[in-house]
Structure 1
C-alpha cells in the first residue's frame, strides 16, 4: 500500500481522529487521480490511518480507518453500514417517516459517500472519483447488510465527462413519483431526475416545526421554494394561506403535485414563478405582508442579470424579507453554506433586521437532524443552520 506523508504540524488534529485531508496537510503533492487505498504516516513515521486521496469540495481526501489492524476492505464497509443502520433504528421503526439519511459520509466514518433511504430504495451520492472507483465492493457490502432494499440509484457529484448526474443502478425501479412520508406528511419524490429528488431531507425538523402548530392560523411566504415542501408542511400544520416563490418554471408543477399528494387543492395556495428579489419589490408595491417568511436560498445562484451568494448577500436578503413580515411575525432564515459559520450567519441576519429599524427576538434554532450524523471530531460537517426570529 502506498504511503502518504502528512506534515507534522497537522498531527494534533489527526491524533484526535480528524478525518479530512487538506492539500496543505500533504508533505508532497500527490497524484489525486490514482484510485487506490493509501496509508497515511507522519514525517516521523508515525502511523495515522488508512484512507484515500480524492479531490472534492471539502478537501483532498479522507481517512476511513485510524486502526492499524483494520485496513480498508469489505469487512470495514459492512461494519460501518451496520453501525449506521443501528443508529437509525428509530427511523426504520417510524411508519410516519419513510425517507431519511442512512449513512452521512464522514459522520458515519465513510467520507465521500452518502446513502439516503426512500421507502426501501437507496440513493447513493458519490463525491469524488476515488471512492466511486470502489463502487462494486461497496455495493456488495450494502446488498449483504441491507437485503430489504428494493432498488439502488446513484448521484454523481463530481465532474467527469463520461458520467451523467443520475443513474438507476440495479434492483426494482421505483414508482414515479415515489410517495414518501415525513412526520405523516406525503412528499412526491423522483429518484432519477438529476441530482435532486424533490425534497431536502436535512430540513425535516424545520418542516415538522411547521406541521406541529407553528404555522397554525398564519400566512406564510416561502422564498426559493423549490418544490414547496415548507409550504406543504405549513398548510398541513394549519396555515390559512401559503405563497411559494421560485425562479424555476418547473416549481409550479412540482409544488402543485406536493399539495395534491396531501389532498390539498393547489388553487387554494399561491405559487409564483419570479426572481425572489423582484417579488419583494412587487409585494411592497402591492402592500403584501405575511406572518411567516421562510428564506432558504442556494449557497450560490446566478441568473441572467445577477448573482447571489450567501456569504455576501444574505444580509440584504434579510432586510428585504423582514419588510414583508407582519408585526410580531416570524422570519425563518436557513442556509446550508458550509463556509459560513453559525456566528457569522447570525450576525448577517441580525444586521439585516436592524437595517429595517425593527426589534427582534431569537426564538428557535435548528442544526442537522440526528440521521445526518456529525462526527464529534469534524464539527464543520454540521453545515445546516436555521434561525427563527420573532420580528417585533
Structure 2
C-alpha cells in the first residue's frame, strides 16, 4: 500500500490550491519538518487541519509535488489515471480524427490534471515523459490505464530526471510493438521523421505546430529564410513547402546536418538546393554580417540557456542583444519570428525585450501574430504562467 503524509499549507497556498493552483511549491508548507519520500501521497490541509487536496510528493523545478484531486474520498489508482487519460483523449478527438496530423500532445501534465506526466502521440505510438521520481512511482498504474483507454500500438518512455536534473540515457521501449525508426508522422500535411528511442528528443518539437503552419501558409512564399538553432530543420521544411526560394539552417550540433537532410528527404525536397550549416549560431551572425548576407525571414528559437566555449547565453538576459544581431542580417521590410520557451517570464516581458531591441536600433516594427501553446498543450485555467511558449511574428517597417 502506498504511504501517505499530511502536510499543512500556509494560508495563501491553501487558498491558491483550493482555487485550482496545481503545484505544491517548496515554500507552501507551514511547517516543512521531515518531508516524505518521492511518490508518497500527500494529504494537504489548511492551518486549521481541514482537508484541501490530495497530491503526491515529487521534486520538479520549484515544486515538491502536484495536486491530483480535491475530493478527499477519491482513490489514486489505475482507475483514477484511466479517467484522466480518457478525458484528455476525448478533448483531442479532432486531432485523432485528422488525416493530415498524426503527432501531437495527448496529455499535458498539470493542464490535464496530473503534473509531472506528459504523453505524446506519434502515429499510434505513445511516448510517456516522467518528470520526477515521484510521478514515476505510479508507472504501473499509468501504463495499465494507458493500455486500457488508448490501446497503443507501442509505448516508449523518457525519464526527465535524476540527481543532477539531467536526462537519464536508457532503452526507452516499454511495451507493445517496437517501432521501426525513423517513423514518419504528419503535421498539417508536412512529413517529419522521428525516432522515439534515441535519447531525450524525438526529432520534432510538437509545441511549434501552428507556428510552422503559419510560416508555410502565409510568410514563406518567394522568400529567403534563415532558420537559427534549427535542430532537425522543421521550420526549414515548412518554409520550402510554403514556397521559399532558399533556406539556410544553422545549428551547432553535428547531428543536425544528417537529421535535417533526413527531414528534407521525407518531404521529397532536394537538400542540396538548401544550405545547412553546422556552426555556432552566434558565430554565424558575425559571418553573415561580414559577408553582407540578408534574409527575408529569420526564425529565432534559441534554447533558454546555452553555454559554448566562447560565451554563455540566457534568453532572460540576452534576447534583446540577440534580436539586435538578427536585425543586422534581416532584409528591409523583412520578418523575424521570435520565439522562446523560457517559463520564467511572460509574453508581456518578452514583448518588452522586442521593443528594447528595436528602439535601441531605431527600427520601426509591427507585430503581425502572437502564438502560445497550441490547444493540445492544455494549461490550467486561470494560470497563464504554465503557458511557457511565446512566439511573435515581427514585421520590420523601416
TM-score range, shorter chain: over 0.9
Whether the 8 Å contact between 2:39 and 2:134 is mirrored in structure 1 is: yes
> Counterparts of 1:302 and 1:27 in 2: how far apart (Å)?
38
Whether the 8 Å contact between 1:65 and 1:71 is mirrored in structure 2 is: no
Whether the 8 Å contact between 2:14 and 2:45 is mirrored in structure 1 is: no
> Is residue 307 from structure 1 mapped to residue 312 from structure 2 by the alignment?
yes
> Counterparts of 1:384 and 1:97 in 2: how far apart (Å)?
21
Q: 1:10 aligns with which of 10, 13, 28?
A: 13
Matched position secondary structure for 1:386 = strand
Q: Report the Cα offset of residue 114 of structure 1.
A: 0.1
Matched position secondary structure for 1:111 = coil
> Is residue 27 from structure 1 mapped to residue 30 from structure 2 by the alignment?
yes
After TM superposition, the structure 1 = structure 2 runs for residues 364-379 of structure 1, keeping only pairs within 5 Å, are: 364-379=369-384
Q: Report the Cα offset of residue 160 of structure 1.
A: 4.8
Q: Report the Cα offset of residue 287 of structure 1.
A: 0.6
After TM superposition, the structure 1 = structure 2 runs for residues 93-112 of structure 1, keeping only pairs within 5 Å, are: 93-112=97-116
Whether the 8 Å contact between 2:39 and 2:133 is mirrored in structure 1 is: yes
Whether the 8 Å contact between 1:16 and 1:377 is mirrored in structure 2 is: no
CA displacement, residues 139-185 of structure 1 (integer Å, 9 cap, x when unaligned):
001100111x1111111111159953551111111111000000000
Matched position secondary structure for 2:230 = coil
Q: 1:292 aligns with which of 282, 297, 300?
A: 297
- Give 5+ residue unaligned stretches, structure 1: none
Q: Report the Cα offset of residue 4 of structure 1.
A: 1.3
CA displacement, residues 64-89 of structure 1 (integer Å, 9 cap, x when unaligned):
10112323222211110010000000
> Counterparts of 1:378 and 1:73 in 2: how far apart (Å)?
27
- Give 5+ residue unaligned stretches, structure 2: none
Q: 2:276 aligns with which of 249, 271, 275?
A: 271
Coordinate RMSD, CA, aligned: 1.4
The runs of at least 4 consecutive aligned structure 1 residues that moved more than 4 Å come to 160-163
Matched position secondary structure for 2:63 = coil
> Counterparts of 2:67 and 2:191 in 1: how far apart (Å)?
38
Change (3 A) 1:387 1:65: same
TM superposition score normalised by structure 1: 0.97
Query: In structure 2, what is the equivalent of residue 226 of structure 1?
Result: 231
> Counterparts of 1:59 and 1:235 in 2: how far apart (Å)?
42
TM superposition score normalised by structure 2: 0.96
How many residues matched? 391
Change (3 A) 1:58 1:266: farther
After TM superposition, the structure 1 = structure 2 runs for residues 227-242 of structure 1, keeping only pairs within 5 Å, are: 227-242=232-247
After TM superposition, the structure 1 = structure 2 runs for residues 62-81 of structure 1, keeping only pairs within 5 Å, are: 62-81=66-85
CA displacement, residues 76-125 of structure 1 (integer Å, 9 cap, x when unaligned):
11110010000000100001000000000000001010000000000010
Change (3 A) 1:32 1:286: farther
